Chains A and B, each alone.
Chain A
């Protein structure tokens, strides 16, 4: 018995298996370092290039004409307005649809179709959403507008919120629902007063993730909100936004513009990463409690 095991431990077959195992393990380690390396590289260069341009004037001055100094104020404000409006339009629809999937029609045919379609919308190319809003809003109205931009972003918000709302409501234990039903509480009241309250943190996480997603979106804004070199709060006119300004400035030959593009890129990335980290900590805090 001992003889054979020693023999097999030294056999070429066993050595080969061990070697293969070692190679696979080091490849896995290398792949992980490779993946993390990109993150460090991208963030590092972003900070290096963006931090130099970061000054008070970025937040107080308008986007400059070519060759002049300026800031990103109108783009930042435009982005804020578009994002907030998109969330105001998209969240109620998303939460209600998610409620239907989790509470009323958890197992019916309609829900499984909606769930499937929602998943498709969740990963649909955002530029196609832009084309869609162009066709239904910009072309009939005859001009680009902030409203079109906000609606395009709302279309991206909806599937994210639907998905997280449904997931979070499904996690609420059914005993809570049964307790509510047993004291005669109608379903709608049970959902609003009990299920929503229990799933609150999760639903907020979904909304935050949606905000993180749309605050960096460029493609759907290119031909809906377009861009605007000037200060504008008119929702019926083209509206500037940070991502579109970055796109325009980065591809320009002017050094000041490119510098502002890097600064804007840093601002967006910090915002998006902060949002997704906050969202994550919200749910993990809930899980551990």
Chain B
């Protein structure tokens, strides 16, 4: 493509009748242009390669930093609950557990609510309100996570402690499974509160991606369904949702990726306790919260290295989740395009 264009321009220049000095200056200009063209091409290519180098740099530096801890504890690191800086025994079980549980709570709430908001925005909302409501929901995504953290600590956690948690504990006291999930003193902070705050943070991601893929459904399909007498809900449930399934799942995965890696909002309200407890009201910790809380205070190479190993595990989990998300969204794009 590139060389083809150049040939044409050269041929045009050759054909035209020029004096010798004219053509000499033309060819020097052309040469200069060609050099700048090459340099610019090289620059952009280098920048693109730098993006690849960044990711490899992240992986390599994490592996290098985590090597001492993984060498000492081996695979047992993943399944060990102990976290003792004094005896230098570290295990990742409690942070991994906390990360998965808080993210699960977040997704359990954010997915249905986000889907219903997207349903409202695409099918029910008056057109005048669509844009403002959409933007307002997206503003939720723009609020920095530290704001969620400080708000969670000072406003949400006390509210949970006073009203919500005692209610849950009392009402589920005699229900078999739930009495274990919602047990113990209401601290306010803990995995449940952290999960709820994550849900609010993930909500806009799920909503905006679902809305975008719902909007991409060809109107003909929906009209056909309405034509045979479907209700709005049936059109959504049996036409829109199946058609956009891949994209919606991609959106969930993006939200999940955010929930798994979220740091500041969780750090404030999780309680930072390296325990695996069945009760959702118990303080726990997540991978990112452990790193944020302890990294600057970690003394000893093994302690630091264990925290970096946690970072490596987190990166691995989010990488897999995000890769699946991108793959699904790409598949949808290919089908649409």
Contacts and interface: CB of A to CB of B under 8 A. Distances in A.
A114 B261 CA distance: 22
Interface stretch (B42-50, B76-84, B169-177, B274-282): B42-50
Contacts of A134: 295
Contacts of B145: 216, 218-219
A7 interface: no
B226 interface: no
Given A32-B117, A117-B55, A100 B47 contact: yes
A189 B33 contact: yes
A186 B37 contact: yes
- Name B's interface SS: helix
A139 B159 CA distance: 42
A31 B124 CA distance: 13
Interface stretch (B179-187, B213-221, B307-315): B307-315
Contacts of A272: 142-144
Interface stretch (A64-72, A119-127, A229-237): A119-127
B55 A120 contact: yes
B255 to A, nearest CB: 10
B78 to A, nearest CB: 18
Contact of A223 (B120, B237, B295): B295
Nearest to A227: B296
Interface in B177-226: 200, 203-204, 207
Contacts of B121: 32
30 contacts: A20-B233, A21-B233, A25-B124, A25-B233, A31-B117, A32-B121, A34-B113, A42-B140, A42-B148, A96-B43, A111-B48, A114-B49, A119-B326, A120-B55, A125-B263, A127-B261, A127-B263, A129-B58, A131-B65, A131-B308, A136-B57, A158-B50, A186-B37, A188-B33, A191-B40, A212-B142, A216-B146, A247-B149, A268-B146, A272-B144
Interface of A: 17-18, 20-21, 24-25, 27-32, 34-36, 38-39, 42, 45-46, 49, 92-97, 99-101, 103-105, 110-111, 113-114, 116-121, 123-129, 131-132, 134-136, 155, 158-159, 162, 181, 184, 186-189, 191-192, 212, 215-219, 222-223, 226, 243, 246-247, 250-251, 258, 261-262, 265, 268-269, 272-273, 276, 280
